[in-house]
Amino acid sequence: MGVLEGKKGLILGIANDKSIAWGVTKSCHREGAELGFNYLGDALEKRVRPLAESVGSTLVEPLDVSDDAQLDDFFAKVEAKWGKLDFLVHSIAYADKNALKEPFSQTSRQAFQQALDISAYSFIACAQRAAPLMAEGSAMLTMSYLGSVRAVPNYNVMGVAKAALEASTRYLAYDLGTQGIRVNAISAGPIRTLAASGIGDFRTLMSKAARGSMLKRNVTQEEVGNAACYLLSDWASGVTGEVHYVDGGFSGGVGDPGEV
């Protein structure tokens, strides 16, 4: 008997089989959940639909989280099909490519607004539409990164967006706590995904993350997925407003002080 048996959940943000959202999907499916998905545009539908079908899903709908009308349509379809929702996973971020390499002090208003809108506000937008479908004991989860609390070279405006996302997690947890809905974030170590492929010298960042971690290795999509299952399950019934690190211990250490 899986820890998510009998639960219905949405997983937002699969791009392909390397996505963190796909790691979360595999764990949630193994633990018995019935799952629904979104895709961004026709190009990604071709990738997401076969993955969704492989875990027995029949809820796969378009959703660009920067568009309120699409958000309304998406959650209306979820309500029509399921009537209720037990969990929501938000695994969505975007910043302009140039904003992730130019000096942070050069960040444009447009790049700031877009990064914060898609990477942070979208969690609030989803939460406010998901909550009315949720009963006591339901849960929401989003994905963050250490760049929210430390200045990580080149992470730039994404770090500011993740800081807003983590603060939003706490305020949503406060707000929805009165309805018995829990809201948490996972802060994962760097993982090679489609989003990471657009980043210069990600290889060096990955090897520094491994060497500086306590486990001396990087974490996987599957490990994030397993931690996600716990936070979404009734085993975490007393846990909310939390940022849970799944980074092999990197954030708690200083690496090797003797390293040159």
Q: Which is nearer to ligand 0WE, 60 or 115 (CB)?
A: 115
**Can residue 20 be called a binding residue for ligand 0WE (CB under 6 A)?**
no
Q: How many CB atoms lie within 10 A of CB 217?
A: 12
Identity of the amino acid at 25: T
Taking CB under 6 A as the criterion, the residue among 57, 91, 107, 154 binding ligand 0WE is 154
Q: Which is nearer to ligand 0WE, 46 or 97 (CB)?
A: 97
Q: Got the DSSP string for 44-112?
A: HHHHHHHHHHHTT--EEEE--TT-HHHHHHHHHHHHHHHS-EEEEEE------GGGGTS-GGG--HHHH
Taking CB under 6 A as the criterion, the residue among 10, 127, 185, 195 binding ligand 0WE is 195
**Can residue 14 be called a binding residue for ligand 0WE (CB under 6 A)?**
no
Taking CB under 6 A as the criterion, the residue among 157, 158, 172, 224 binding ligand 0WE is 158
* Beta pairing partners, 39: 62
**Which residues in 92-131 contact ligand 0WE (CB under 6 A)?**
93-95, 97, 100
Give the span between the Cα atoms of 168 and 170, in whole angstroms: 5
Catalytic residue numbers read 145, 155
Binding site for ligand 0WE (CB under 6 A): 93-95, 97, 100, 145, 152, 154-155, 158, 190, 195-196, 198-199, 205
